[in-house]
């Protein structure tokens, strides 16, 4: 099965909700997910979620107390949302958890999810409408530009706090494709591609917009890369596994959790996937031996977890 089926199914569910007085299955899922409180994460630096007045159209996740990062110790993680949606809080549990480990996390879109949502959610698309993506890879690039500029701007709360050698791009599903579009950016130090992969075969009518990408783009990756998929029931599994098989020039790791395409984004603190990503970032960006050990096989804690399957190559 291909990634586009998930998008089509989501649109169909949303359209059903428009056509009847009863909420669709997708809308019921969103309503339940919205009830889960925002989290400060489990890392050493309790996180907050905010909208920065100097970065319109984005949601920011960061440690509440920035003082421990004086001298340039704050990493950056720019995120592409699932479905390339303009909802910067659609993966809020996941992103706040990562921020709590000492990262400035930026996602495009409004604050549309959770009990503290400030912006209205986009209306469901009508049945049969083409899948369009309201955010682009350019939005991720702008977030990265902004963070780097704030690191040097007089009066910025981030002045001198950001480590320019600790920058990651990542994303979920369509958002993972957006991250791959920026794989050749020399400022990026690692990639995290979740429940995603470039199409092996094109969907009916061909891929369009953000999803239209050749496998040749994988050659642009110049950093260590983590793929985190949801096992064989993940609709992106075949695409992501094929991406991984083609990557032969940089350190790469493939992690599978048997949870399907929806991942663990809405579990408390982002579930196991967020914890694995945090270990990857702490190892690859900060050189922390304990995080590297957690991902090592056969003795690391993730390799010993019966739900987790890890493959690695080229030193990944």
Q: At what angle do helices 271-284 and 92-99 cross, to 10 degrees?
A: 30
- Model confidence over 203-249: pLDDT tens digits? 655 566 777 899 999 999 999 999 999 999 999 999 999 999 999 99
Q: Tell me what the mean pLDDT of segment 112-133 comes to.
A: 81
pLDDT of residue 21: 53
- Model confidence over 287-312: pLDDT tens digits? 999 999 999 999 999 999 999 999 99
pLDDT of residue 205: 59
The larger pLDDT score, comparing residue 308 to residue 9, is at 308
Query: Could you tell me the sign of the dihedral formed by the alpha carbons of 5, 209, 91, 71, in that order?
Result: positive
Q: At what angle do helices 137-152 and 174-181 cross, to 10 degrees?
A: 60
Domains parsed from the chain with CATH numbers: 3-313 (3.40.50.1820)
Q: Tell me what the mean pLDDT of segment 245-256 comes to.
A: 98
DSSP structure class, residue 199: -
- Model confidence over 68-83: pLDDT tens digits? 999 999 999 999 999 9
Q: Cis before residue 124, ω within 30 degrees of 0? A: no
Q: Are 171 and 79 in contact (CB under 8 A)?
A: yes
Q: Are 89 and 59 in contact (CB under 8 A)?
A: yes
Residue 7 has pLDDT above 70, yes or no: no
> Coil, strand, or helix at residue 121?
coil
Provide the mean pLDDT of the chain: 90
pLDDT of residue 137: 97
pLDDT-derived band at 259 (thresholds 50, 70, 90) equals very high
- Model confidence over 130-169: pLDDT tens digits? 666 799 999 999 999 999 999 999 999 999 999 999 999 9
Residue 283 has pLDDT above 60, yes or no: yes
């Amino acid at each position: 099965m291909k990634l586009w089926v998930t998008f089509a199914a989501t649109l169909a569910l949303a359209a059903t909700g428009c056509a009847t007085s009863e909420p669709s299955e997708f809308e019921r899922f969103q309503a339940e997910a919205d009830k889960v409180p925002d989290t400060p994460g489990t890392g050493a630096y309790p996180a907050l979620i905010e909208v920065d007045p100097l970065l319109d159209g984005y949601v920011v996740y960061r440690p509440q107390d920035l003082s421990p990062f004086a001298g340039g110790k704050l990493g950056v993680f720019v995120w592409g949302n699932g479905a390339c949606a303009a909802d910067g809080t659609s993966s809020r549990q996941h992103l706040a958890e990562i921020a709590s480990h000492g990262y400035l996390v930026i996602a495009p879109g409004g604050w549309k999810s959770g009990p503290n949502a400030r912006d209205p959610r986009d209306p469901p698309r009508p049945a049969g409408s083409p899948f369009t993506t309201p955010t682009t890879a350019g939005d991720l690039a702008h977030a990265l530009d902004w963070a780097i500029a704030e690191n040097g701007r007089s009066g910025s709360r981030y002045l001198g706090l950001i480590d320019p050698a600790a920058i990651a791009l990542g994303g979920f599903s369509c958002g993972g494709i957006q991250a791959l579009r920026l794989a050749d950016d020399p400022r990026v130090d690692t990639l995290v591609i979740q429940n995603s992969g470039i199409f092996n075969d094109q969907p009916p009518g061909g891929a369009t917009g953000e999803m239209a990408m050749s496998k040749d783009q994988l050659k642009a990756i110049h950093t260590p890369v983590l793929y985190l998929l949801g096992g064989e029931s993940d609709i992106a599994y075949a695409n992501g596994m094929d991406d991984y098989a083609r990557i032969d020039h940089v350190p790469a790791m493939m992690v599978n959790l048997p949870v399907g395409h929806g991942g663990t984004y809405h579990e408390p603190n982002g579930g196991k996937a967020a914890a694995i990503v945090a270990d990857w970032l702490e190892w690859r960006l900060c050189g922390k031996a304990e995080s590297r050990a957690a991902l090592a096989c056969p003795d690391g804690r993730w390799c010993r977890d019966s739900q987790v399957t890890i493959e690695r190559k080229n030193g990944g």
